[in-house]
Amino acid sequence: MKPVSISDYRQAARRRLPRFLFEYIDGGSYSETTLKRNVADLEALAVRQRVLRNVSVIDTSATLFGAKAALPLALAPVGLSGLYGRRGEVQAARAAAASGVPFTLSTVSACSIEEVAAGASAPFWFQLYMIRDRAFMADLLARADEAGCSALVFTVDMPMPGARYRDYRSGLAGAPGLGGDLRRIFQAVQRPAWAWNVGLHGRPHTLGNVAPVLEGRSGIEDFFAWMGENFDPGVTWDDLDWVRTRWRKPMIIKGVLDPDDARQALDLGADGIVVSNHGGRQLDGALSTARALPAIAAAVDRRMPILADGGVRSGLDILRMLALGADGVMIGRAWAYALSAGGSAGVSRMLDMLKAEFRVAMGLAGVAAVSDIDVSLLA
């Protein structure tokens, strides 16, 4: 049966991926309180049903950082996507380009910036984590610029990683050496299509962008250890300036959940923010993004664009986030599930589905243009 909802894509991904990968995508940190809140708080928002408002022509398009997009939506950076499908980042970037929405390439991707640039037909965004080695960071920024990346998404909510219990239980984390390898191999052979297509032929362990500083380490455990050693917990607002002087195109700060931080980002020259708690994968117990967003939108007061992510699982959820004050949304797990389930075609179909759902949500709420979506749509 073809998936008709994001939850169908999730189930298809569960059937397709080895357990340790599905749990990595699906899980959140600690008790997963914030992960659950992201979904539940958005879902709990009632939308006003408005009638007889001529919705014969509905325009779902929006402008995101100077470029027209078919939807007020971008694919969020999702690390290790080259493990979910063969050369997964290229597949997702192609689908996003075909659907007319931006794709964001994670720092920690299997495919390098250059490989995605060669394979995708539209400019994409590049996501950066602050790594201790500033010369390497400067080099990454130059590579992204050279490859034509049209915006930088600078993620600031991971000075240190939150623990995800599911990753320990699946053997992805905390199982170094042969023991962990064997557990993952055992899970992989139970998914022969994945093992053949991605595991054996997809070169999933290449980690294109950070390969130069991994010093020959290639195991997944080595990679997480490297992240722990090299992500810079000493980063402060002063470092934004360092990034700003090396990146002249739009700079979007991702991982803002507090109005004070939003004001700070604005004061320091950010071109936009992503209201995000990393999909409930970092501070467990933090506010859901749906709850945090209105106060942030009030603080920003339309002086810069706001994207929001966390829990977006339908076209209706896009409308809800916009009604709360966002100019656009990012989706993370939704596209990771679709890529896992059906590669590039899966991501394309999922985006078509979100677009159709968003269109209907707009029509039934009585609005014909994205710019008409505001808080008055909520009951």
Report yes or no: 49 and 364 within 8 Å, Cβ to Cβ.
yes
Cβ contacts of residue 345 below 8 Å, gap of 6+? 95
Residue 282 Cβ vs ligand FNR, minimum distance, rounded to whole Å: 9
CA 273 from centroid of its chain's CA atoms = 13
* Binding piece for ligand FNR, criterion CB under 6 A, among 142-150, 169-177, 259-267, 278-286: 278-286
Q: How many C-beta neighbours within 10 Å does residue 60 have?
A: 21
> Can residue 188 be called a binding residue for ligand FNR (CB under 6 A)?
no
How many residues sit in the footprint of ligand FNR (CB under 6 A)?
Answer: 25
Fill in the DSSP letter of residue 229. H
Least distance (Å) between residue 155 CB and ligand FNR? 3
The residue (of 130 and 331) whose beta carbon lies closer to ligand FNR is 331
Q: Which one of 309, 317, 327, 357 is in contact with ligand FNR (CB under 6 A)?
A: 309
- In angstroms, the CA 226 to CA 151 distance is 26
- Nearest approach in angstroms of CB 68 to ligand FNR is 23
Nearest residue (CB) to ligand FNR, 273 versus 367: 273
Work out the angle at residue 224's Cα, subtended by the Cα atoms of residues 14 and 312, and round it to the nearest 5 degrees: 45
User: Least distance in Å: CB of 50 to ligand FNR?
Assistant: 28
Among positions 108, 257, 286, 353, the unique one binding ligand FNR when judged by CB under 6 A: 108
Task: Please select the residue that binds ligand FNR; options are 9, 20, 24, 124, rule is CB under 6 A.
Answer: 24
Min dist CB 302 to ligand FNR, Å, is: 23
Burial per residue of 129-144, b for 16 or more beta-carbon CB atoms within 10 angstroms, e otherwise: bbbeeeeebeebbebb
Judged by CB under 6 A, does residue 171 bind ligand FNR? no
Print the binding letters for residues 63-92 with ligand FNR: x by CB under 6 A, - otherwise. -------------xxxx-------------
Size (the chain), residues: 379
Query: Is 278 considered catalytic here?
Result: yes
For residue 321, how many C-alpha atoms fall within 13 Å in the half-sphere facing its CB? 30
Site string for ligand FNR, 332-351 (x = CB under 6 A): xxx-x---------------
Q: Which is nearer to ligand FNR, 158 or 367 (CB)?
A: 158
Closer CB to ligand FNR, 275 or 367, in the complex: 275
Task: Using the minimum distance from each CB to ligand FNR, give the nearer residue, 73 or 367.
Answer: 73
**CA dist 58 → 21, 74, 99, 366 (Å):** 38, 20, 17, 10
Beta strand spans in the chain (E): 62-64, 67-69, 73-75, 104-105, 125-128, 151-155, 251-256, 272-275, 306-309, 328-331
Residues 6+ apart with CB under 8 A from 137: 128, 130, 131
Residue 166 in contact with ligand FNR, rule: CB under 6 A: no
As annotated, the active-site residues are 278
- Footprint of ligand FNR (CB under 6 A): 24-25, 38, 76-79, 106, 108, 127, 155, 254, 276, 278-279, 281, 309-312, 331-334, 336
